[in-house]
Homo-oligomer: A and B are copies of this chain.
Amino acid sequence: MTVSKAAEATAKGAEAARARRDASDEAGEALQLGELSEQLGYVLKRAQLKVFENFLRCMASLQLTPAQFSVLLLVEKNPGRNQTEIASTLGILRPNFVAMLDNLESRDLCARIRSTNDRRSHILVLTDKGKAVLGRAKKLVATKHEARLNELLGGANRESLIAMLSKIANEF
């Protein structure tokens, strides 16, 4: 609660000095990021937000979020799995996965089928429409989303970036 007089004086000095410069200059100058721009977590988070934002724009016509896209991809690759298995490999908690599936099922993209082996579980399958939509989604991701990344980093860098991020995701 107590700010040292020295600190307050320093702050006022800095504010006054900036105000003086701003009087001559037009717009308030940008802040110094300093060590922040070297912080892994900071730059990682901001990059992730930008990538998701771009993903949503690319997918606007299909109305698929990154999470929904990942579910469709995983179900396509692993037909015959139940909700718990799909959810847990995606890091989604089972309770939170229910509404997500309700959404996808209501849009006729995937379906729950009561398993005959274990009548507690629901087997997940893509509908025909789900397969078609996923196919279009993949094309959009490839031509709009990943293409933008290649353009920005180059193919080789893109691969090494993915590799490093995977390593962090798996071993950090």
Q: Give the interface of A toward B (CB within 8 A).
A: 1-4, 7-8, 10-19, 28, 30-52, 54-55, 66, 69-70, 73-74, 76-81, 85-86, 89, 91, 105, 108, 111, 113, 115-117, 123-128, 138, 141, 145-146, 148-149, 152-153, 157, 160-162, 164-169, 171-172
Which residues of B lie under 8 Å from residue A172 when comparing CB positions? 47, 50-51, 54, 148-149, 152
What's the nearest-Cβ distance from chain B to residue A104, in Å?
11
- What residue in chain B is nearest A7 (Cβ atoms)? B125
Please tell me if the beta carbons of B28 and A42 are within 8 angstroms of each other in the complex: no
Please tell me if the beta carbons of B8 and A113 are within 8 angstroms of each other in the complex: yes
Contact among B85, B89, B149 with A40 in the assembled complex (CB-CB below 8 Å): B149
Known: A14-B79, A44-B48, A113-B3. A167 touches B149 (CB 8 A): no
What's the nearest-Cβ distance from chain B to residue A138, in Å?
8
Known: A14-B79, A14-B80, A34-B77. A4 touches B127 (CB 8 A): yes
* 6 closest A-B pairs by CB: A14-B80, A15-B80, A34-B77, A46-B169, A47-B168, A50-B172
- What residue in chain B is nearest A169 (Cβ atoms)? B46
9 A-B pairs with CB atoms under 8 Å apart are A11-B79, A31-B74, A31-B85, A34-B77, A35-B73, A36-B73, A37-B166, A47-B166, A51-B172
